[in-house]
């Protein structure tokens, strides 16, 4: 795939300035807000996703005496649903703005935190499958699909890879690994194996996602040199940021 115009302009600027580039140092000195946005979204999303699709399997087999095959088949169905919903939410992000779609996914996940366990606790295979499809096949994709657009635009081109990669991977490692363990510890510590603590954990993770989306920086300026069209000699028209365009525009 061809590189973006911002990337090419950034390369030209670096060649013109002939200055040594230290992206990680620049990231920590000048782009801390963008890094925190990426970290928040990654922490919240991965906590939700891994509790939905990893902890739920352990919970069903260890605390509800549900056959492991029931949960595994539910995750298979949810993954099949995600093959459809991820592109749909990607289209919705282009149409309505990735910030709105991500925040909507976080809010919906918070609302589903308590019904999630109500459905799992029925022990009914069909309701369990429905629960996993909603959580992993619908809600998780609603937060996953917008991330490519939202996370990358938190940084100018010269630190974009460092910023998006650092925040996303640190957040995934922390919450993806610790959230399911924390959920198991919460349930195991309860004499009745109560799950309300895990539901509160889900709500907290969803709130972190929404907060991250709320502090989205839009499209930061990379301050590249002005490029002129080869035919007209005029600067190109600026490209609109879909997240700053009204979603309710009439056609």
Q: Is the pLDDT confidence value at 42 over 50? A: yes
Q: What's the token pair of residue 173?
A: 């490692």
pLDDT tens by residue, 93-117 = 999 999 999 999 999 999 999 999 9
CB 45 within 8 A of CB 109: no
Q: How confident is the model at residue 250 (pLDDT cuts 50, 70, 90)?
A: very low
Q: Which two tokens stand for residue 18?
A: 């002939």
- Whole-angstrom Cα distance, residue 92 to residue 101? 7
Amino acid 23: pLDDT = 72
Give the predicted TM-score (pTM) of the model. 0.79
pLDDT value of position 50: 96
Please state, rounded to an integer, the average pLDDT across all residues of the chain. 85
pLDDT at 232 over 60: no
Percent of the chain with pLDDT over 90: 64
What digits encode the pLDDT tens for the residues 155-211? 888 788 888 888 999 999 999 989 999 999 999 999 999 999 999 999 999 999 999
pLDDT in tens, 21-32: 677 777 788 888
Segment 216-226, tens digit of pLDDT = 987 544 444 44
Q: What is the pLDDT of residue 222?
A: 42
pLDDT band for 85, please (50, 70, 90 cuts): very high
């Amino acid at each position: 795939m061809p590189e973006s115009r911002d990337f090419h302009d950034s390369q030209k600027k670096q060649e013109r300035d002939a200055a040594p580039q230290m992206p990680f140092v620049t990231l920590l000195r000048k782009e801390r807000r963008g890094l925190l946005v990426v970290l928040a979204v990654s922490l919240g999303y991965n906590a939700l996703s891994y509790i939905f699709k990893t902890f739920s399997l352990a919970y069903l087999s260890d605390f509800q005496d549900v056959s492991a095959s029931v949960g595994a088949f539910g995750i298979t169905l949810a993954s099949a649903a995600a093959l459809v919903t991820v592109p749909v939410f990607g289209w919705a992000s282009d149409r309505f703005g990735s910030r709105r779609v991500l925040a909507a996914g976080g809010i919906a996940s918070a609302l589903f935190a308590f019904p999630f366990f109500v459905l799992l606790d029925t022990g009914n295979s069909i309701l369990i499958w429905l629960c996993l499809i909603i959580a992993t096949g619908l809600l998780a994709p609603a937060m996953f699909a917008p991330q490519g657009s939202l996370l990358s635009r938190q940084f100018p081109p010269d630190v974009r890879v460092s910023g998006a990669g650092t925040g996303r991977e640190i957040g995934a490692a922390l919450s993806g690994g610790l959230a399911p363990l924390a959920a198991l510890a919460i349930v195991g510590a309860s004499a009745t194996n109560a799950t309300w603590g895990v539901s509160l954990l889900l709500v907290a993770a969803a709130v972190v996602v929404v907060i991250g989306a709320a502090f989205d920086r839009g499209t930061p300026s990379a301050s590249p040199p002005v490029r002129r069209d080869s035919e007209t000699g005029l600067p190109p028209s600026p490209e609109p940021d879909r997240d700053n365009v009204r979603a309710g525009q009439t056609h």
